[in-house]
A and B are shown apart, each in its own frame.
Chain A
Amino acid sequence: MAINILMPALSPTMEQGKLSKWLKKTGDSIRSGDVIAEIETDKATMEVEAVDEGVLGSILIAEGTDNVPVNTPIAVILADGEDASAAPAPKAASAAPAPVAAPAVVTAPAALPAASAPASSEIPAGTEMISMSVREALRDAMAEEMRRDETVFVMGEEVAEYQGAYKVTQGLLAEFGPRRVIDTPITEHGFAGLGVGAAMTGLRPIVEFMTFNFAMQAIDHIINSAAKTLYMSGGQMGCPIVFRGPNGAASRVGAQHSQDYAAWYSAVPGLKVVAPYTAADYKGLLKSAIRDPNPVIFLENEILYGQSFEVPKLDDFTVPIGKARVHREGRHVTLVSFSIGITYCIKAADELAKEGIEAEIIDLRTIRPMDTETIIASVKKTGRCVAVEEGYPQCGVTAEIAMRVMEHAFDYLDAPVMRVTGKDVPMPYAANLEKLALPNVGEVIAAAKATLYR
């Protein structure tokens, strides 16, 4: 019986890839384990091995094809003596359960239309914009800062020869060499402390954690050594260091690899905490973080890495830390969020607009110091506020936002502040449960309507 070969998912967050090369041609006999094709994702080129045996009956996707969705049939294998006409229709495969269920909220990889957001004040009018993924924006930010400042270096697990576990540091080793792009052993506590010590002498380390989940091993150095030394030394000894890496839930990686630490770090004086959404903000804020004389926790999001946005084509584009951005203007309700939380807000705002509700979206970009002013200005205008995050509700960033709104704009509120958060449970693995554990667009819409008594 003819068997379809499907486009495989090569990582938990992969949704599509490029079929870069066929290594077998129609009529070739295939044995289990043969490398039949090469597939390129935004992270890497991978070989596809055959599982089933037979003869390559037909190639359904030509080599060089971009954006082939996961699970698309790409070729047909025929059993010995079978005719190509026996091949099942490609649609047969679509009935199979998807091996990797993308979270319902993951946006399509298409760039967010820049037009939907008022131009950022950091970008001069008329600036040429280019489309760039968050991953590329981060890499360019590091490369630019390493070019302008010899004291900047990057260290972490797999940052150099492997080109980054998530390919964020791709190409840096080739340009800057092993002195400044340093592969570390898998010892987060040790290399975080080493980075802090180096920073105390005035070097500017960028310490990459493969994910912030692993930074739990190093949290003592981040808080006790990096955040407190300036104060404990009466201002003598600063610590210009950036701790960066993916934070929060990716997709189907379970409880120990899916946690949002924004609230944790934002609770600590002496730290700055940044968690951008757009590629432009990732780039501009990472450059500012590297130049900042304080320890900066730079929280990235794995699901956003592959998404593209418009980034200004400027020689030295920076975004100030501590400044929120109005992502979308509206007059009926304020939605405040950060990082991937903005994706829920955008979809909710689109839906609300269909019912005549104009939602304003505030992208915090920086969690600490929090730009209370921008939140309050918006809430004074709308009188209603919904705060959204993927993190836990108790002592969460949204709890902090609600409190600040109460402290500074209580008399302007027409309804209690609402929040939409991750559920108060460890992240489950099962696709349906994971979806339930994360916030969703429906919850944001419902909360927004509740503030409007609708």
Chain B
Amino acid sequence: MAGSAAIRSKPASAKTAPKPIEKSSAGPLEFSRDQELSAYREMLAIRRFEEKAGQLYGMGLIGGFCHLYIGQEAVVIGMQMAMKPGDQVITAYRDHGHMLACGMAARGVMAELTGRGGGYSRGKGGSMHMFSKEKHFYGGHGIVGAQVSLGTGLAFANHYRNNGSVSMVYFGDGAANQGQVYESFNMAELWKLPVVYLIENNRYAMGTSVSRASSQTDFSKRGLAHGIPGEQVDGMDVRAVKAAGAKALEFARSGKGPYILEMQTYRYRGHSMSDPAKYRSKEEVQKMREEHDPIEQVRGRLLRGKIATEDDLKEIDAKVRAVVNEAAEFASHDPEPDPSELWTDITL
């Protein structure tokens, strides 16, 4: 099923060395000027938001668990560019990027991180648990793999209503080993449900590298036993993501059933804020940043193609920072939820 956007990786070899991410071929992947600018702006918005979240965590304003998406921005933005209004998104707990990509307001997300009344869940969900029916974002789930069955249920509902929407179900290389993933694959293919499974392979399930946890490290093949097609995608290249996403979404929307995209990506930060990431070398992270950074790739193309000047990009950066700063300001000063909130929203 490998299309032009597919990247066939070499078989897993050395236990520690990450697989190189191959450069996508050009041509059909070319973005228009507006697409390049939009991808740049949206990815930068996630990066700056996450950097600010890390900062607020360090200041003690954000508590508990906080999983940053830095490095993986091209995955959600590429998919966002490929999806249609009404398509649903569901993911695990590394979810800030997905929410921003869905169009949820930065201040509402940030205020939830700080546990304030103005947060998306009125302070009762936290970093891992936010939802927006309006933006078709279904969480925000803290149990590894649970979102795969839930997201298959979203697809079931689309199928039941025959509404033409597709459910986009994100999960990591770690969740890909959970049993319920395969229970869901089975039903999705059996009933030809409109769902695209996006396996964000960032190479580490918490501190365990893919090769130490997975007998089959080519996650695009994880649906083969059920007859679900899949392909590997350079998840650091927003154009490759968008192209593969469009194809997969079209496949699912046309009634052919589920499709799997293994997004080969990388997280720069630790698993959560308390993770010093001793299980990988600094050089490995550095090499990724220098050679594959999703934002730098677009930035390079914008400058080289004279689509934008340094000044233009500075202006975009300033605007993005202003939104993030405003969100942080709001999230730092918005009051905590009223004590009466303890007893609301338990049942309807």
A71 located at the interface, meaning its Cβ lies under 8 Å from any Cβ of chain B in the complex: no
Cβ–Cβ contact A232 & B129, under 8 A: yes
What are the residues of chain B within 8 A of A97 when measuring CB–CB?
none
**Minimal beta-carbon separation of A436 from chain B (angstroms):** 37
- B129-147 interface bits toward A, Cβ cutoff 8 Å, 1 = contact, 0 = none: 1111100001111110010
- Given contact pairs A189-B183, A225-B146, A270 touches B346 in the complex (Cβ within 8 A): yes
User: Could you say which of A192, A198, A234 contacts B122, with CB atoms under 8 Å apart?
Assistant: A234
User: Could you say which of A199, A203, A236 contacts B131, with CB atoms under 8 Å apart?
Assistant: A236
What are the residues of chain B within 8 A of A201 when measuring CB–CB?
88, 153-154, 157
Count of A-B contacts with CB under 8 A?
141
Cβ–Cβ contact B345 & A190, under 8 A: no
- Given contact pairs A225-B141, A236-B121, A294-B347, A198 touches B131 in the complex (Cβ within 8 A): no
**Minimal beta-carbon separation of A407 from chain B (angstroms):** 18
- Given contact pairs A187-B186, A232-B121, A194 touches B153 in the complex (Cβ within 8 A): yes
What are the residues of chain B within 8 A of A197 when measuring CB–CB?
90, 138, 149-157
Within 8 A of A (CB), among B106-146: 119-125, 129-133, 138-143, 146
Nearest CB in chain A to that of B148: its residue: A193
Roughly how many angstroms separate A294 CA and B345 CA in the complex, as a whole number? Answer: 11
Nearest CB in chain A to that of B162: its residue: A179
Cβ–Cβ contact A230 & B347, under 8 A: yes
**Minimal beta-carbon separation of A271 from chain B (angstroms):** 8
Nearest CB in chain B to that of A186: its residue: B183
Cβ–Cβ contact A237 & B131, under 8 A: yes
What are the residues of chain A within 8 A of B138 when measuring CB–CB?
197, 200, 237
What are the residues of chain A within 8 A of B124 when measuring CB–CB?
231-232, 234
Roughly how many angstroms separate A122 CA and B90 CA in the complex, as a whole number? Answer: 42
What are the residues of chain A within 8 A of B129 when measuring CB–CB?
232-233
**Minimal beta-carbon separation of B35 from chain A (angstroms):** 30
User: Could you say which of B140, B149, B157, B347 contacts A189, with CB atoms under 8 Å apart?
Assistant: B149
Nearest CB in chain A to that of B165: its residue: A201
Cβ–Cβ contact A190 & B186, under 8 A: yes
Cβ–Cβ contact B180 & A233, under 8 A: no
Dominant SS at the B interface?
A: mixed
B24 located at the interface, meaning its Cβ lies under 8 Å from any Cβ of chain A in the complex: no
Within 8 A of A (CB), among B267-299: none
Cβ–Cβ contact A184 & B149, under 8 A: no
Roughly how many angstroms separate A179 CA and B191 CA in the complex, as a whole number? Answer: 10
B303 located at the interface, meaning its Cβ lies under 8 Å from any Cβ of chain A in the complex: no
A43 located at the interface, meaning its Cβ lies under 8 Å from any Cβ of chain B in the complex: no
Cβ–Cβ contact A220 & B347, under 8 A: no
A224 located at the interface, meaning its Cβ lies under 8 Å from any Cβ of chain B in the complex: yes
- A210-248 interface bits toward B, Cβ cutoff 8 Å, 1 = contact, 0 = none: 000000000011001100011111111110000000000
What are the residues of chain B within 8 A of A230 when measuring CB–CB?
345-348
Cβ–Cβ contact A235 & B122, under 8 A: yes
Roughly how many angstroms separate A198 CA and B154 CA in the complex, as a whole number? Answer: 5
Cβ–Cβ contact A190 & B150, under 8 A: no
- Given contact pairs A179-B160, A232-B125, A270-B347, A196 touches B150 in the complex (Cβ within 8 A): yes
Roughly how many angstroms separate A220 CA and B125 CA in the complex, as a whole number? Answer: 18
Roughly how many angstroms separate A224 CA and B147 CA in the complex, as a whole number? Answer: 11
Nearest CB in chain B to that of A192: its residue: B149
What are the residues of chain A within 8 A of B123 when measuring CB–CB?
234
Cβ–Cβ contact A237 & B133, under 8 A: yes
**Minimal beta-carbon separation of B63 from chain A (angstroms):** 15
Roughly how many angstroms separate A195 CA and B140 CA in the complex, as a whole number? Answer: 17
What are the residues of chain B within 8 A of A196 when measuring CB–CB?
149-150, 153
Cβ–Cβ contact B152 & A193, under 8 A: yes
Cβ–Cβ contact A236 & B133, under 8 A: yes
What are the residues of chain A within 8 A of B139 when measuring CB–CB?
229, 232-233, 237
Roughly how many angstroms separate A195 CA and B156 CA in the complex, as a whole number? Answer: 8
Roughly how many angstroms separate A284 CA and B150 CA in the complex, as a whole number? Answer: 29
Cβ–Cβ contact A225 & B150, under 8 A: yes
Nearest CB in chain B to that of A233: its residue: B131
What are the residues of chain B within 8 A of A184 when measuring CB–CB?
187
Roughly how many angstroms separate A189 CA and B184 CA in the complex, as a whole number? Answer: 9
Within 8 A of A (CB), among B160-185: 160-161, 179-180, 183-184
Nearest CB in chain A to that of B169: its residue: A197
Cβ–Cβ contact A185 & B160, under 8 A: no
Nearest CB in chain A to that of B181: its residue: A190
A309 located at the interface, meaning its Cβ lies under 8 Å from any Cβ of chain B in the complex: no
Cβ–Cβ contact A185 & B187, under 8 A: yes
Roughly how many angstroms separate A66 CA and B309 CA in the complex, as a whole number? Answer: 91
**Minimal beta-carbon separation of B176 from chain A (angstroms):** 15
A177 located at the interface, meaning its Cβ lies under 8 Å from any Cβ of chain B in the complex: no
**Minimal beta-carbon separation of B177 from chain A (angstroms):** 14
What are the residues of chain B within 8 A of A203 when measuring CB–CB?
157, 160-161
What are the residues of chain B within 8 A of A384 when measuring CB–CB?
none
**Minimal beta-carbon separation of A184 from chain B (angstroms):** 7
What are the residues of chain A within 8 A of B142 when measuring CB–CB?
224
A88 located at the interface, meaning its Cβ lies under 8 Å from any Cβ of chain B in the complex: no
What are the residues of chain B within 8 A of A231 when measuring CB–CB?
124, 345-346
B32 located at the interface, meaning its Cβ lies under 8 Å from any Cβ of chain A in the complex: no
Cβ–Cβ contact A189 & B121, under 8 A: no
Cβ–Cβ contact A187 & B152, under 8 A: no
- Given contact pairs A236-B131, A236-B132, A238-B348, A193 touches B186 in the complex (Cβ within 8 A): no
**Chain B interface residues (CB < 8 Å from chain A):** 88, 90, 119-125, 129-133, 138-143, 146, 148-157, 160-161, 179-180, 183-184, 186-187, 190, 344-348
**Chain A interface residues (CB < 8 Å from chain B):** 153, 179, 184-185, 187, 189-203, 220-221, 224-225, 229-238, 269-270, 272, 293-294
Query: Top 5 A-B pairs ranked by shortest CB distance?
Result: A197-B153, A193-B149, A190-B183, A234-B122, A197-B150
Beyond A231-B345, A234-B125, list 19 extra A-B contacts (CB 8 Å).
A190-B186, A193-B150, A193-B153, A194-B152, A195-B153, A197-B157, A198-B153, A200-B138, A220-B146, A221-B146, A221-B150, A231-B346, A232-B121, A233-B130, A233-B139, A233-B345, A236-B120, A293-B347, A294-B348
A-B contact pairs, 17 of them (CB 8 A): A179-B160, A184-B187, A185-B183, A190-B152, A193-B152, A193-B184, A198-B154, A225-B141, A231-B124, A232-B125, A232-B129, A232-B139, A233-B139, A234-B119, A234-B123, A237-B139, A238-B348
